[in-house]
Structure 1
Amino acid sequence: MTVNGPCRSHFDQVYRSNLMKFLSKWDEVYPTLFPEFQSLAKMWNRGVLTASHERVLILNDDLKIPVNSEMSFFEHFERTLEVAPETFIINGSFSHFVVSKKELMEVGFFDERLLGLGEEDGDFYWRYHEKYNREIPEIAIELIENIHSDVTDGGYTKGIRTASQFNRDFMKMTKYKDMLFGGYRGMFDKRVKKLLVDEIQYPYEDFYRKNKERL
C-alpha cells in the first residue's frame, strides 16, 4: 500500500495517525507513506518492488468494489489469475491491473521522470509493445468499477482532468514525437516515435532477485 503526500503543503499528522491505527488491525498490510507529493509512477514502482508475490494487483483509489454480492471481486480475480497472462489490464483500465515483476523489469519500470499523475500507463503500454511486439491483454472481471473521480490534490498544475500538465508536456514535447507514418499509437492520441532513451531505474533489483536466496 502506498499513500501519497500533498503537493506544496504539509502532511496531515492527524490523518497519518488515524491511518496507521486503522491499518494496524489487519495482517500483512505494509504501507509506504510519502511525506511529500510523489509521482504515480514512483508509487506503482515502489508498490511492486515491496510486494511479496511475482505478480502484483495494483488498485488505484478511484474504484468502486461492491461488498454485498454473493461472490466478491477478489474471488473472481483469484479464478481469473489461474489462467491469465503475466501482465494484464482489468476492464480496459489502468486503474486496476496486474503487472509481472519479471515483465516490468524487462520492459523498464514506470517512468519516474513523469513527476505528477498521468501518461505513465500509456508510456508503459507503448514500451511493452516495443519490447514484446504485442499489446497488453485486457480481461473483464466483475464487481469492480473505475468511477473516474475528480478528487485530487490542489497543489499541482492540471492538464486533462486530474492529470498533470507536466506529464503531458514531457510525453508530447520531450519523450515522443508524433508520426504521420510508421511509429505506434498504443494508448496515445496519434502514432508516435520514442525520442528519449529510458534511464535504468532500480538497476540492482535484478541482482537482488537472483541472489536473495543465498543470504
Structure 2
Amino acid sequence: MKYSIVITTFDKRFESDLIPLVNSIKALRPKIEVIMMVNGPGRANFDQEYRSKLLSFLAGHHDVYPTIFPTFQSLAKLWNRGILTSSNERVLILNDDLKIHLEDGKSFFDKFEFAFMSAPETFTINGSFSHFVVSKKEVMEVGFFDERLLGLGEEDGDFFWRYHEKFNREISNLEIGLIDNIHSDVTDDGYVKGIRTASKFNREFIKKQKYKDILFGGYKGMFDKRVKKILPDETQYPYEKFYLENKDRL
C-alpha cells in the first residue's frame, strides 16, 4: 500500500500545530513520505528564524521533503506542487491544524489504511477537504486545482464541481475516526479576508468570473446555488502526463 502525505503550512502555525502533527505522523508511520509545502508571507519578509527552526525540526525526521516559498502562494498552487512532488500515485493531503489520536492501540492511520485498500481514487475524509485523497491520474483528468484562485478558499468547491463535470459523479466521502479538524483561525495577515480565513479575491473570482448562478440545470456541488461555468479552464502542468509515462525510460 503506497501513498504520500502532503502537508501545507506557514510560520504562524509552526509551534502550535505543525510540530505535534509531524511528530504524531512519524511516531505512527516513520517511513511514510511527507511532502511539506511551506507558504511565505503575503506582505512581509520571510522570517529567517522560522526558516532555521523549521529546517532543523524537519531534519530530525526521515523522509520529510520541504518546499519553501519565500512569498505567499495560493493554496491551489501548494496542493498542486505537493501532488507533483510526491513520488507515489496516491496522495493524502492534510491541513496543518489536525490532531491525530490513539485509541485502544489503534490510530487514524490504521483506520485510514484499511479503508484505503478499497476506496475510490479520490475521496474526502469526514466531509472535509482539510484531509482528502487524490490520485495523480484523476487530478490530471479533471485538471489541477485552479491557480487563478490566488489566495485561500473555493479551490475545493471548484475542483468538486469540475470532478462532477468530468466523471458525472461526486467525489466520495469516507468517515474515518481518530483525527480532529481544529479549524484554526490563525492566518497570514497579508491578504484580504472574505468569509473566515478565506480570501475575498477567491470568492469574487468564483462568483463573478468563473461561474454564473442559474435557476435551472447546472450543478450545485459545494457552492451555494446551482451554477454553470462561464470561464474556460487553462491547462496546467501539461507535460506531467508525458513525464509519468516516460520517466522509466531515463
Q: Which residue of 1 aligns with 2:68?
A: 33
In the alignment, is residue 213 of structure 1 matched against residue 248 of structure 2? yes
Q: Which residue of 1 aligns with 2:177?
A: 142
Secondary structure, aligned partner of 1:210: helix
What are the superposed Cα offsets for residues 150-169 of structure 1, whole Å, 9 maximum, x if unpaired?
11011110000000000000
Q: Which residue of 1 aligns with 2:77?
A: 42
What are the superposed Cα offsets for residues 17-64 of structure 1, whole Å, 9 maximum, x if unpaired?
111011111111111111100000000000000111111000012212
Amino acid at match of 2:171: I
Alignment of 1:114-125 (within 5 A): 114-125=149-160
Q: Which residue of 1 aligns with 2:206?
A: 171
Identical residues among aligned pairs (%): 73
Secondary structure, aligned partner of 1:129: helix
Amino acid at match of 2:226: R
Task: Call closer, same or farther: CA 1:68–1:10 in 2, change over 3 Å.
Answer: farther
Amino acid at match of 1:164: S
Question: What's the TM-score, normalizing by structure 2?
Answer: 0.85
What are the superposed Cα offsets for residues 39-94 of structure 1, whole Å, 9 maximum, x if unpaired?
00000000000111111000012212225652111121111111111000000000
Shift of 1:112: 0.3
What are the superposed Cα offsets for residues 77-134 of structure 1, whole Å, 9 maximum, x if unpaired?
1111111110000000000000010000000000000000000000000000000000
Distance 1:176 1:100 in 2: 26
Unaligned runs of 5+ in 2: 1-35
Alignment of 1:35-74 (within 5 A): 35-67=70-102, 70-74=105-109
Q: Which residue of 1 aligns with 2:43?
A: 8
Question: What's the TM-score, normalizing by structure 1?
Answer: 0.98
* Structure in which a larger fraction of residues adopt strand: 2
Amino acid at match of 1:143: L
Unaligned runs of 5+ in 1: none
Q: Which residue of 1 aligns with 2:54?
A: 19
CA contact (8 A) 2:93 2:133 kept: yes
In the alignment, is residue 157 of structure 1 matched against residue 192 of structure 2? yes
Q: Which residue of 1 aligns with 2:137?
A: 102
Distance 1:40 1:67 in 2: 29
- How many residue pairs were aligned? 215
